């Protein structure tokens, strides 16, 4: 089946620094990718929709200047957490729908655990 | 907007017990419905899905039926195992994917 990878799988950074998380579709092209955030023992929260070749669409309440999304190619989307603070510590997950069944099913990356000290 | 309401946990069962995790949804159109499972320390995995009313998704002994009249997609398994201990998420997909809060299941030997 389709595979989505994320890098890094975990990262620890100091407060005030920026962290970039990559999401790649390994064996399919994805014009759209989704970024989620999961707090401990809570559900996933959709943060934004990443669109190849155009600006990302952010959910209400998500700061677009803080969570920069770039969908540079059909297989890569990046999420940059700028000027990270401890409250940004979370598990970040990306997903991508394969092929033309764009909204029928999605494949999820393994997630990136961000810890901001 | 679209949303999913899922039975809150945690749920603790003995091995071989019957499992039901309730899930209801609100949608403007005709979404696809999913159950995802997250084992400890791992990412999400698709457990089963249904794309239209009256479809039944099934996998690994789990099943769920897309009920449009009751806007529900309850997850069931006749006999749970210790290895089924995980967090289960109900989700719907129309223009994007929306998740329920997740239900933590612990199965004791």
Sort B17 into a burial class: Cβ within 10 Å, 0-12 / 13-18 / 19+. middle
Strand partners, B21: B75
Q: For residues B31 and A40, which has the higher predicted lDDT (pLDDT)?
A: B31
- Residue A87 near residue A81 (C-beta atoms within 8 A): no
Per-residue model confidence as pLDDT tens digits over B9-52: 899 999 999 999 999 999 988 888 999 998 876 778 889 999 89
Which of A7-21, A101-115, B4-18 has the lowest average pLDDT? A101-115
Distance CA A77, CA B80 (A): 38
Hey, are the CB atoms on B32 and A46 less than 8 Å from each other? Answer: no
| Predicted pLDDT at B40 | 78
What is the bridge-based pairing of β-strands B11-14 and B103-108? Answer: parallel
State yes or no: pLDDT of B97 exceeds 50: yes
CA distance B89 to chain A (A): 8
Q: B104 to chain A: which residues are within 8 Å by CB?
A: 41
State yes or no: pLDDT of B98 exceeds 70: yes
B83 phi and psi angles, rounded to 5 deg: -70, -10
Q: B94 to chain A: which residues are within 8 Å by CB?
A: 103
State yes or no: pLDDT of A38 exceeds 90: no
Number of residues in chain B: 109
| Predicted pLDDT at A102 | 46
**Chain A residues interacting with chain B (CB cutoff of 8 angstroms):** 34, 41-44, 46, 49, 93, 95, 103-106, 108-111
| Predicted pLDDT at A76 | 95
Sort A1 into a burial class: Cβ within 10 Å, 0-12 / 13-18 / 19+. exposed
Hey, are the CB atoms on B104 and A41 less than 8 Å from each other? Answer: yes
Please state, for a pLDDT cut of 90, what percent of chain B lies above it.
69
Strand partners, A32: A51
Question: Following CA atoms B100, B80, B46, A115 in sequence, which dihedral angle do they give, to the nearest 10 degrees?
Answer: 60
Q: Using alpha carbons, select from A58, A37, A33 the residue that is nearest to residue A48.
A: A58
C-alpha A22: how far from chain center: 7
| Predicted pLDDT at A67 | 97
* B102 interfaces chain A, CB cutoff of 8 Å: yes
Distance CA A39, CA B85 (A): 19
Hey, are the CB atoms on A103 and B93 less than 8 Å from each other? Answer: yes
* B98 interfaces chain A, CB cutoff of 8 Å: yes
Hey, are the CB atoms on A95 and B97 less than 8 Å from each other? Answer: yes
Closest CB to B97: pick one of A106, A109, A110.
Answer: A106
Please state, for a pLDDT cut of 70, what percent of chain B lies above it.
97
Distance CA A40, CA A72 (A): 30
Closest CB to B101: pick one of A43, A46, A106.
Answer: A43
Distance CA A5, CA B68 (A): 35
* B77 interfaces chain A, CB cutoff of 8 Å: no
| Predicted pLDDT at B94 | 78
Per-residue model confidence as pLDDT tens digits over A68-95: 999 989 999 999 999 999 999 998 999 9
B77 phi and psi angles, rounded to 5 deg: -150, 135
Closest CB to A108: pick one of B43, B93, B101.
Answer: B43
Closest CB to B101: pick one of A42, A110, A111.
Answer: A42
* pLDDT mean across residues, chain B: 92
- Residue A21 near residue A92 (C-beta atoms within 8 A): yes
């Amino acid at each position: 089946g389709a595979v989505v990878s994320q890098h890094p799988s975990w990262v620890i950074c100091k407060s005030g620094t920026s962290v970039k998380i990559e999401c790649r579709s390994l064996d399919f092209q994805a014009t759209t990718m989704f970024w989620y955030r999961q707090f401990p023992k809570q559900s996933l929260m959709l943060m934004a929709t990443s669109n190849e070749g155009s600006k990302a669409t952010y959910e209400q309440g998500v700061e677009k200047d803080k969570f920069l999304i770039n969908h540079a190619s059909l297989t890569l989307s990046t999420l940059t957490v700028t000027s990270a603070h401890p409250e940004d510590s979370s598990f970040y997950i990306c997903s991508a729908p394969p092929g033309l069944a764009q909204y029928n099913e999605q494949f999820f990356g393994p997630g990136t655990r961000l810890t901001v000290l | 907007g679209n949303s999913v309401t899922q039975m809150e946990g945690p749920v603790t069962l003995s091995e071989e017990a019957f499992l039901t995790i309730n899930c209801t949804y609100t949608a403007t159109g005709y979404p696809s419905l999913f159950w995802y499972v997250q084992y400890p320390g791992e990412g999400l995995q698709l457990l089963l899905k249904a794309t239209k009313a009256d479809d039944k998704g099934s996998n690994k002994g789990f099943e769920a039926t897309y009920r449009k009249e009751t806007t529900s997609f309850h997850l069931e398994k006749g006999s749970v195992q210790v290895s089924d201990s995980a967090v289960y998420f109900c989700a719907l997909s129309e223009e994007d994917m929306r998740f329920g809060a997740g239900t933590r299941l612990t199965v004791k030997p």
